[in-house]
Amino acid sequence: MLSISEAARRCDALTEAFGPRFTTPETLREMARSGESFYGRFGTRTAA
């Protein structure tokens, strides 16, 4: 499993290597700064 911080770091490295199409989304940066997890933020909804 990949941490949010690691995903942001990889996006930064890809941006340097291949350009702006790999720019880290601001939501991902906010989650990395706050220590939030993907499922903690988006996985709490229940099916209708």
Q: Hey, how many other C-beta atoms are within 10 angstroms of the C-beta on 37?
A: 13
Q: Is residue 13, in this structure, part of any structural domain at all?
A: yes
pLDDT at residue 32, rounded to an integer: 92
| CA 9 remoteness from chain centre | 9
Q: Is residue 47, in this structure, part of any structural domain at all?
A: no
Number of domains in the chain: 1
Q: 9 lies in which domain range?
A: 4-42
Task: Supply 11's token pair.
Answer: 């996006």
Q: Is residue 36, in this structure, part of any structural domain at all?
A: yes
Q: In terms of pTM, does the model score above 0.85?
A: no
Q: Is residue 14, in this structure, part of any structural domain at all?
A: yes
- Please give the average pLDDT of every successive group of 10 residues along the chain, which has 48 residues: 91 97 94 89 72
Q: Is residue 48, in this structure, part of any structural domain at all?
A: no
pLDDT at residue 47, rounded to an integer: 64
Q: Is residue 31, in this structure, part of any structural domain at all?
A: yes
pLDDT at residue 16, rounded to an integer: 97
